[in-house]
Amino acid sequence: MEQINSSIRLGWRERIGFGVGDFAHNLVFHSILTYLTYFYTDVAGISAASVGIIFLVTRIWDGINDPIMGFIADRTRSRWGKFRPYLLFGAIPMAAILVATFWSPDASVGMKTTYAALSYTLLGMIYTMVNIPYSSLTAVMTRDTQERTVLTSVRMLMSGLGMMTVIIATKPLVDLFPSEKAGYPSVMAIYAIAIVAVNWYTFASVRERVVEVKKSYPVFRSFLMIAQNTPLLLLGISAFAGLSALTVRNASIMYYFEYYLGKKDMVPVFFMVTSIPAVLAYGIAPWLSQKYGKKTTFIAANAGTFIAGTILFFCTPTMIAAIFVLSTFFNFFGALVGVMTWSMLPDTVEYNQWKTGIRADGVVYSVFSLSQKMAMAAGGGLMGMALALVGYVPKAAQSPEALSGISALFALVPALFGLVSLVLILFYPITNEFYQKILREIAERGEEASGSIK
């Protein structure tokens, strides 16, 4: 079957320039995912139930903004392109609000709760304004599906480094300050400087090459297009399950080590040891994708997270070595899921063009971002409400029910979410052969200009 030569290959300077952007975004993302629940409950003194409600409500609201932002980004026209300007102008506001989110006023619990909800909502909106255009760059830098996997692997590698920076360095840095209340915003201020510098570097390093014909379409048409994009819907729902698992697991780590294992000081070591295999996963993902296909690799990786998480749930607090080994496998397979998800997503942009005649990168990525925000809402809400349900009490000895609940949140709940993700992706229709068919038929319809390389 004839292969469509759809793109030039990119140089490593541009690949790295693109990928490093996710290092900056993960300084934001994993600070929220790993430490914000703990900051709210154990530092700011907000109840776990209130935290669950904050995450659920604010992330739902944040998700509503995603399709709007995608629609706006698709209509952006500037000398820098559609998506790059948001990296240039959005970096400083995003960095500043991150610091504000990890600060808590000396006020009543009600005022602290209100401030937390408002600052977190604003952070989510600004993060959306920067991250959706950034993520959309993959589809406009190249149309070569394997090149997209390479780009995504580099991005995930940098994402992993951002994650490792946050989970390994944050707590030791916070401990250098007189109190956690002073330490968290101070550490976020350090991250903020890096966030601005890296976003500007990405802006300067990448180019938008795939240029669409300037077709105008109303807002409601966006929703009709998405309804017809079966691969995007399946991938979005699958990613919802996967990120829900990650949200619950990462948010539970501090509680798991402090209360279930009684080894809070081991958290940085745990993060370092179990994160290294994720870097390996990013390196071999392009090879696995090329040899076995994205879909097959995705399914196998989700099966790995389910098996590792299920076994991990049955580990007792004395089985430290087993906990580390199983968590290492869980992170390895989880990293593969992440690479495959993001490398499959830009293929749904061409599917959308093939199906509807309109190329809408921003809308497609915004819908996917919406699934992520809903996952964070569900995962964060589940985390807070589950802690309240099992009787978690901050800074106190926990009941057997609370300890069992913390263990389930750390291992079993993420495993079950992984199983759901696996089942959903079984129905994902885009194989490499089908993708080549999509490109050929787009070309045969005379729509080359809507996906041309400039």
Residues 402-424 pLDDT 10s: 999 999 999 999 999 999 999 99
- Which pLDDT band holds residue 452 (cuts at 50, 70, 90)? very low
pLDDT in tens, 278-299: 778 888 888 888 888 889 999 9
Q: Is 210 helix (H, G, I), strand (E, B) or coil?
A: strand
The answer to whether 229 touches 353, Cβ cutoff 8 Å, is no
- Which pLDDT band holds residue 122 (cuts at 50, 70, 90)? very high
- Residue 63 in any domain: the answer is yes
- Per-residue confidence (pLDDT) for residue 178, from 0 to 100: 93
For every residue of 302-314, DSSP letters joined together read HHHHHHHHHHHHT
Query: What is the mean pLDDT of the segment spanning 49-70?
Result: 78
- Residue 270 in any domain: the answer is yes
Considering the entire predicted model, what is its pTM?
0.70
The answer to whether 302 touches 425, Cβ cutoff 8 Å, is yes
CA distance 246 to 256: 15
Q: Is the pLDDT of residue 70 over 80?
A: no
Q: Is the pLDDT of residue 5 over 50?
A: no
- Residue 268 in any domain: the answer is yes
Q: Is the pLDDT of residue 379 over 70?
A: yes
- Per-residue confidence (pLDDT) for residue 217, from 0 to 100: 56
How far is it between the farthest Cα atoms of the chain? 68
* Mean pLDDT score across all residues of the chain: 85
The enclosing domain of 267 has a CATH number of 1.20.1250.20
- Residue 333 in any domain: the answer is yes
Alpha-helical regions (H) of 317-360: 320-344, 347-356
- Per-residue confidence (pLDDT) for residue 445, from 0 to 100: 76
Q: Is the pLDDT of residue 449 over 50?
A: no
- Residue 406 in any domain: the answer is yes
CA distance 294 to 317: 37
- Which pLDDT band holds residue 219 (cuts at 50, 70, 90)? low
Q: Is the pLDDT of residue 213 over 60?
A: no
- Residue 382 in any domain: the answer is yes
pLDDT in tens, 144-197: 777 888 888 888 889 878 988 997 899 889 999 999 999 999 999 999 999 999
Give the containing element (helix H, strand E) for 211. Answer: strand 210-211
pLDDT in tens, 252-263: 888 899 899 988
pLDDT in tens, 305-327: 999 999 999 999 999 999 999 99
Q: Which residues constitute the domain of residue 423?
A: 14-206+217-444
- Residue 43 in any domain: the answer is yes
Query: What is the mean pLDDT of the segment spanning 195-204?
Result: 96
Query: What is the mean pLDDT of the segment spanning 89-103?
Result: 95
Q: Is the pLDDT of residue 276 over 50?
A: yes
- Residue 130 in any domain: the answer is yes
Q: Among positive and negative, which fits the CA dihedral 341, 344, 350, 354?
A: negative
CA distance 435 to 143: 11
Q: Average the pLDDT over each of 135-144, 160-169, 220-229 and give the range with the smallest value.
A: 220-229
- Per-residue confidence (pLDDT) for residue 211, from 0 to 100: 64
Q: Is the pLDDT of residue 119 over 90?
A: yes
The structural domain count of the chain equals 1
When comparing pLDDT for 374 and 92, which is higher? 92
| Number of C-beta neighbours around residue 336 at 10 A | 26
- Per-residue confidence (pLDDT) for residue 422, from 0 to 100: 93
Bridge partners (DSSP) listed for residue 452: 211
